[in-house]
Amino acid sequence: MSIVIKACLFGALICSHSVMAFDWCGPLFVSPGTTQTNYMIVNGKLRSYGLYVPLKSHLDSPLLLNFHGFGANSLAESLGSCWRRTANREGMIVAYPQGMSLVPAWGAGDYCCFGGSDNDTEFALQLASCLTRPQTHKRNVYVDPERIYAVGLSNGGAMAGRLACEHSDVFAGAVVTSQSFPFATIEQCRAVDAAGKQKRAVPILEARGTVDVIVPYIFSWGWSVPARQSLNRWQSAMGCRGPAVYEDLCDRPGSGPECEYGFSWCESYHDCDGGAVVSQCTLIDGHLLYQNNQDYNVCDDGWFMLEQYEQLNQ
């Protein structure tokens, strides 16, 4: 990194602690096949994110914002999640936002978590905007603004759900892993926009573990809602009708050859507003569902759902 860029970032850090409020996308560092740390300023605060551009990206690549869990960081998410492998196969660009505070967290709605703030939502929206600017083409970053998605684990999953609820005009779907519907009321999701029109419904995949002690399946410690209640809220919020369709997890696109029938399942609503689908997949497993005992890849399953919705709305 050059001395000039370091000086700019140092100045940005100073300003981020002042009363000044301004936004800056910052210089874009890209190294295909590796995750590069980048910085930007959001409402006067310095924020960072990792950016992964696969070796084979496209002129209209999807963009995923992949949010880490409470107390974790963007590096851990980039190494521990399954999204990089999916990105390599599909030519997706993945951004790994970094939470703020001593214990990194996201202001992800009504339940979780302390240490996050509304600046997190502003960060996500500005990050999506910065990565779709024409200037990024000079770095061979070409993002399709119609294919921006939010995904995440735990507190990061709640953040992804919040963005899909509040800003479905930007985020075309979400994969919520080991977390739940982010709000206390259904009305907080897909509120009317400035023109008085309800925001669009988007596909949601929620994956939960029945023996998760951090985000419990059948009860709550206060930073989530139980799985049944969460699915009912997603169903209502996205305008889903009809009874849920049950299927064995091993029949899902994300299942692998070692998946065993009869141990895990999914409930899906296919008749939702605008052709969206809401699914909740249940595994007899714990909190870190990126690795599980059912040979199930939530990233591949989630991407299949998001891609189906994209094709339907072309």
Q: What is the CATH number of the domain that holds 104?
A: 3.40.50.1820
HSE, CB side, 13 Å, CA atoms: give it for residue 79. Answer: 5
pLDDT at 4: 47
DSSP state letters, 95-118: EEE--BTTTTB---SSSS-TT--T
Q: What is the pTM of this model?
A: 0.92
**What value does the mean pLDDT take over residues 290-303?**
96
What gap in Å lies between CA 212 and CA 214, rounded to an integer?
6
7-16, 89-98, 109-118: segment of lowest average pLDDT: 7-16
Q: How many CB atoms lie within 10 A of CB 243?
A: 8
Mean pLDDT to the nearest integer, 281-305: 96
Please enumerate in sequence order all residues whose Cβ is within 8 A of that of 28, keeping only pairs 6 or more positions apart, or say none: 38, 51, 135, 136, 139, 141
Q: Report pLDDT digits (tens) over 16-71.
A: 444 467 899 999 999 999 999 999 999 999 999 999 999 988 889 999 999 999 99
Strands 265-269 and 245-248: antiparallel
* Predicted local confidence at residue 70, as pLDDT: 96
Tell me what pLDDT residue 14 has: 44
Mean pLDDT of 184-210: 93
- The number of distinct structural domains making up the chain is 1
The lowest-confidence range among 12-26, 190-204, 259-273 is 12-26
- Domain holding 299, by residue range, is 3-312
User: Phi, psi at residue 126, to the nearest 5°?
Assistant: -70, -35
Residue written as tokens 């209209």?
A: 60
Measured between alpha carbons, how far is residue 23 from residues 20, 47, 82, 101, 199 in Å? 10, 10, 31, 19, 26
Strands 35-42 and 45-52: antiparallel
Asked whether the predicted pLDDT for residue 193 surpasses 80, the reply is no
Say whether 265 sits in a helix, a strand or coil. strand
What span, in angstroms and rounded, lies between the C-alpha atoms of 93 and 83? 10
Q: For residue range 111-153, what is the model confidence (pLDDT) as tens digits?
A: 988 888 889 999 999 999 999 999 999 999 999 999 999 999 9
Mean of per-residue pLDDT scores for the chain: 92
